[in-house]
Amino acid sequence: MLPQAKYIAKCSQYLGSTSLHNKNCLIVGATGGIGRSIALKLSALGANVTVAGRSKEGGSAVLSALRNKGVGEGQKHSFERVDLTSQKDTKRFLESTSKKLSDHGGLDYLFLTAGKPPNGKQTLTPDGIEAHFALQCLGRYSAAYNFAKVMNPNGCITAVCAPGQGSTAPIDDLEYLRPENKKKYWMLTAGGRDSLFVDSVLMNLAQQYASTKLNVLHLFPGFVATNSAQTAGFPFPVPLLARTFAPYISTNADEYATTPVFEAVQSSEKGTGGFRALNQYGSEVKIKDWVKDSSNRDACVQYSNRRIEEALQSVDGPDGSQVGELGIAA
């Protein structure tokens, strides 16, 4: 049995005796792929599940599947639509969903799975943010920092991405928009930046909420068979190769979903709190020195707040009349 298969089997055995009855869970990026599979796993364990994503059709399909996976009366499932590449729509989603969660017992588990691999291309959203950065980085940042406010004690925030990658990034231009940085931008540069950024903001978040023992996880999934190669916009023949060889070298999303659910549940049950980064085998990932530097971590948070505010003003007007505070601490 391969190492990842052994790890998945261990996680599955642990969850076999686990009940998440009356636990509230939110998965951001749950209309397909890993997020959808996590949502179904949580429902099968008895949790109340809110799924969030851009596709209304996908959301309806997931809700139908969740109800079929449920294990008892009283489970409550819902769908919230959000386009994480729009800062205005993200703000609306964060505010409305936080209120709903707060009114119904708070949040126990948050999973952040929205995103796609970088393809090396740069495009701007209508509100002026580099599109991949908006989805992969700001989406995780905004959701994590906002929903941390309604997390119950010993709750867990889990981001599925790629911890421990990269080496450095231009801290005053994380989107690589300036000419001197733009020429350095390609798939590996973007992937390294994403990893450094997510590690940084999650580590700071765990420290900020140490008193409530908030658990914050950054997990690398390995090669999971989803349609990410197609949706990321990779050039031919990358999508074809992915479809051809995925059955031989990858884990399917339903199998993998066992591991983030296991790690989140176990972390909450232990109640130690703090930040952890793990690979696809459940082993600790070494965090880069760049991330260990608190000035870089703080700068990531400050850069994010500034760019979100600029994006909101670009949509609502420079006088700020329609711009409210996002409510995330610098």
Query: Domain segments of the chain: what residues?
Result: 3-316
- Top-confidence residue, 151 or 324: 151
Long-range contacts of residues 269-274, Cβ cutoff 8 Å, at least 24 apart: 269/154, 271/154, 271/213, 272/213, 272/215, 273/154, 273/206, 273/209, 273/210, 273/212, 273/213, 273/214, 273/215, 274/206, 274/210, 274/213, 274/215, 274/216
- What's the confidence (pLDDT) of residue 316? 62
Residue 248 has what pLDDT? 44
List of E strands, 32-106: 48-53, 77-81
Name the CA radius of gyration of the chain, rounded. 19
- pLDDT, residue 39, reads 98
Average pLDDT for 240-254: 59
Mean pLDDT of 246-258: 76
Mean pLDDT of 202-210: 98
Q: Give the per-residue pLDDT at 3.
A: 78
- 87-108 pLDDT, tens digit per residue, is 999 999 999 999 999 999 999 9
What's the pLDDT score for residue 325?
35
pLDDT grade for 283, boundaries at 50, 70 and 90:
very high
Homologous superfamily of 3-316: NAD(P)-binding Rossmann-like Domain (3.40.50.720)
pLDDT at 196 over 80: yes
- Could you give the 3-state DSSP secondary structure of residue 178? coil
- Tell me the per-residue pLDDT of 55-81, one tens digit each, with 9 for 90 and over: 999 999 999 999 888 787 789 999 999
DSSP E strands, 33-76: 48-53
Q: Flag whether pLDDT at 320 surpasses 60.
A: no
What pLDDT, on the 0 to 100 scale, is given for residue 251? Answer: 86
Residues 6+ apart with CB under 8 A from 182: 122, 176
- Residues 241-247: what's their mean pLDDT? 47
Greatest C-alpha distance within the chain: 61
Give CA 155 to chain center in angstroms. Answer: 15
> Nearest to residue 42, comparing CAs of 77, 93, 73?
77
pTM greater than the 0.85 cutoff: yes
Measured CA to CA, the distance from residue 182 to residue 175 in angstroms comes to 8
Query: What confidence category does residue 236 fall into, taking pLDDT thresholds of 50, 70 and 90?
Result: very low
For residue 323, what pLDDT is reported?
Answer: 37
Nearest to 160 by CA among 312, 309, 278, 31: 278
Categorise residue 191: left if φ over 0, alpha if ψ from -120 to 50, beta otherwise. Answer: alpha
Q: Which burial class, exposed, middle or buried, applies to 298 when counting CB atoms under 10 A from its CB (0-12, 13-18, 19+)?
A: middle
> How many CB atoms neighbour CB 5 within 10 A?
12
pLDDT of residue 132 exceeding 50: yes
> Which amino acid type is present at position 218?
H
Mean pLDDT calculated for residue range 121-129: 96
Q: pLDDT at position 326, please? A: 38
Please determine, for residue 225, whether its predicted confidence score (pLDDT) is greater than 80: no
Q: Please determine, for residue 270, whether its predicted confidence score (pLDDT) is greater than 60.
A: yes
Average pLDDT, rounded, for the chain: 90
Residue 229 has pLDDT above 60, yes or no: no
Distance CA 119, CA 188 (A): 9
Whether pLDDT at 231 is above 80: no
Roughly what angle, to the nearest 10 degrees, separates helices 33-44 and 56-69?
30
Kindly report the number of other CB atoms within 10 A of residue 260's CB atom. 27
Over range 319-323, report the average pLDDT: 41
Measured CA to CA, the distance from residue 132 to residue 85 in angstroms comes to 8
**In whole angstroms, what is the distance from residue 290 CA to residue 296 CA?**
7
- Do 136 and 115 contact (CB within 8 A), yes or no? yes
